[in-house]
Structure 1
Amino acid sequence: MTRVLAAGDHFVLPHLFTDALEGQGVARSDIRELQLPWPMTPMGKVAEVDEASGSEDEIIAALEGAQICVTQLAPLTERILKACPDLRLFSICRGGPVNANVEAATKAGVGVTFAPGRNATATAEHTVAMIMAAVRRIPQTNADLNAGTWRGDYYAWDNVGPEIEGSTIGLVGYGAIGSRVTRILRGFGADVLVYDPYVDPTTLDGVAERVELDELLRRSSIITLHARVTPENKGMIGAEQIAAMPRGSIIVNCARGALLDYDALCDGLDSGQLWAAAFDVFPVEPIPEDSRLLTTPGIVMTPHLAGASKQTAIKAAQIVAGDVGRYLRGEPLEYCVNPEALRRI
């Protein structure tokens, strides 16, 4: 008998894990469910790991006797690993195992898995919605109408934005999300440029044109970011890059806040170099009360929910449950970041 902890939250509900695990042959009676407080309570740092929900004591108590944990945000720390010697597999249904101390897990012989692509469709759709909202100033005009103001001046030449059809849109990153955004934008009739050092140019044939970053900035009236953060690309879009774009351009970021210099972007909006911007991610979350993002005009914002859809939660649970099933059947795992840990068992 293998005991499994399904540590869900208010997005990926515990029963979604349980349903997915049952589909892999795990008996419901062998699954213990735990409800973590996110997003009603913000995620944060727990001991040495980031972006976690729940306390070490809570997780240690819930993991008693369990060999497997499936979760989105439960922390996996050195202390938890030492207190839970039965644990063998910790499956995180996120794009990366940010909330796990992978080095300590490897030393303890605990495999860590993740769930790439779980929110790719939702984030791609949200990105395109943010482009449209920024281009057509939908939030601002809606707010004016709700305030009882009919702003006919939005029809003035200086206050209208471009159409997507015929526009050149640059994507920084062409993974699971960027490729989906490309397909949607091509349906609008946009010309798409891609900067991604890792993409195979043959996969872009007839869909997008691969270019270097300098050329993408020079030619694109809209750019949207889809790269994962690395030490090399932090702040990759700053004052110099914004100045290289055509005047009146638009920047959209639904990837990670660290990719963009937000102060430089506000400067660009204030000067007219940029016409609009749209963000789902920020350098500090929640946004500080004194942030320029709250007072600079032309910005559309959502609170880091681009990946939030019912399908995302279901897919996330199914992806990690799939690797649990492989583990129980003695098969190689598909999304394990430290397979050497499992070989030590």
Structure 2
Amino acid sequence: MHILAAGDHFVAPDLIARELTAEIGTGHRIDQLCLPWPLTPFGRIAEVDEASGDEETILGALRGAEALVTQMGPVTKRILDEAPGLRLVVVGRGGPVNVNLEAAAERGVRVCNTPGRNAAATAEYTVGLLLAAMRRIPETSAALAAGRWAGEFYTYDNCGPGLDGSRVGLIGAGAVGSRVARALAALGAHVRIHDPYADQALLRELGTPVGDLDELLAGSDVVSLHARLTPETRGLLGARELALLPEGAVLVNCARGALLDEDALCDALESGRLGAAGLDVFAVEPPPADSRLRSAPRLVMTPHLAGANTAVAHNAARLAAAEVGRYLRGEPLAHGVV
């Protein structure tokens, strides 16, 4: 089989190639291509989202290939039209948003992805970002680095709240949200969860199910977003919803930027109603130079890093290689979407 390993600077092409060789042996041709992400932000390419590279580069490297293993490479209608030998696309991420699934199905190209590859990493990061925002860790670190002891952060008004005994509201209880729930419960938080699609028995195991989103918000000292971005959840938290939070509440988003109205968040932080916030994702990435987020008080921002650790890169490559192995052996794909 002729395979293109179109990696990037996170899930590197040689890592993909090594996992492919371990899975299917050495009797196959594996070409490698390195795409510019994350040194260059992903974006929309033709009709697909969150992609890296360009159609010409992918087409040149795909010539004669039957399978493409990639994390960010665009798989557009044009690429599918001009790579007639392509039979399998494996996307090493939670969702194949960089693939035109309708066009792939029309051409009989199988598509699969690797859900759960970064769930543990994202959950860990969410807890870290939450603690950083609550306890004002970046501010105090910056003060000390600048030579200032900043004892005022030990005063009652400035030291920030704790997790032990706090009411934490989680919106979403999937692979990430469920891990965050267990971690926060271990730290003494009272975990409350809103997820209309989750199994109620699971929600009761993780914490206290709350069927109404407004009720969850009104009774949460801390809120963390773990919902998927859909037409229904876009703008899920706006000015009305943020106003329901108790004064001084903390909000964290490591899911998708468009779940949250960023202007409403800035208003809540600037007014002092919201105690702190932590964002790893943004409606536009990176945020524009004139974004209000850049000057909002008590806001900790990181550049979409929650899912990035070395274990995730290995997970993605290994899970993707396993799908190629299944395809070659004529077995059902574990995570086929087309």
Same fold (TM over 0.5): yes
SS at structure 1 position matched to 2:111 = strand
Q: Which SS does the other structure have where 2:331 is aligned?
A: coil
Once the two structures are superposed, what CA deviation does each residue of 1:129-172 show, in whole Å capped at 9, x if it has no partner? 01110111000111111222221111221112111111110100
Asked whether the 8 Å contact 1:254–1:280 carries over to 2, the reply is yes
**In structure 2, C-alpha distance between the alignment counterparts of 1:205 and 1:238, rounded to whole Å:** 28
Contact 2:41 2:285 in 1 (8 A): no
Which range moves more in the overlay, 140-149 or 126-135?
Answer: 140-149
| TM-score, reference length from structure 2 | 0.97
Whether the 8 Å CA contact 1:51–1:73 is kept in 2: the answer is: yes
Deviations 1:60-107 (A, max 9, x none): 111111100000011101111111111000110111111111111111
How many angstroms apart in 2 are the aligned matches of 1:105 and 1:4?
Answer: 17
Provide closer, same or farther for how the CA distance between residues 206 and 46 of structure 1 changes in structure 2, counting only shifts above 3 A.
closer
Secondary structure of 1:205's aligned partner? helix
Task: Tell me which residue corresponds to 1:223.
Answer: 223
**For 1:159, what is the secondary structure of its paired residue?**
coil
> What is the deviation of 1:29?
4.7
User: TM-score, normalising length from structure 1?
Assistant: 0.95
Q: In structure 2, do the counterparts of structure 1 residues 204 and 296 end up closer, same or farther at CA, with 3 Å as the change threshold?
A: same
Q: Which runs of 5+ in 1 are unaligned?
A: 339-345
Alignment partners' CA distance in 1, 2:50 and 2:160: 37
Instruction: Tell me the residue number matched to 1:297.
Output: 297
Q: Does 251-260 or 233-242 show the bigger shift?
A: 233-242
Say if 1:51 and 1:99, in contact at 8 Å, map to a contact too: yes
Contact 2:173/2:203 (<8 A) preserved:
no
CA deviations on 1:240-284 (whole Å, 9 max, x unpaired) are: 111111110000000000100111111111122100000000111
Aligned to 1:139: 138
Q: Which is worse superposed, 176-185 or 144-153? A: 144-153
- How far apart, CA to CA, are the structure 2 residues paired with 1:153 and 1:240? 33
Measure, in 2, the Cα distance between the counterparts of 1:214 and 1:55.
Answer: 43
Aligned length: 337
Secondary structure (helix, strand or coil) at the match of 1:224 reads: strand
Shift of 1:187: 1.1
Q: Give SS of 1:118's match.
A: coil
The aligned counterpart of 1:263 is 263
1:253-332 pair list within 5 angstroms: 253-332=253-332
Deviations 1:259-312 (A, max 9, x none): 001111111111221000000001111111111111111000100010000000
Aligned to 1:234: 234
Per the alignment, residue 61 of structure 1 pairs with 60
- C-alpha separation between the residues in 2 aligned to 1:269 and 1:202? 36
Q: Decide whether aligned partners of structure 1 residues 57 and 206 sit closer, same or farther in structure 2, where only a CA change above 3 A counts.
A: closer
> Percent identity, aligned pairs only?
55
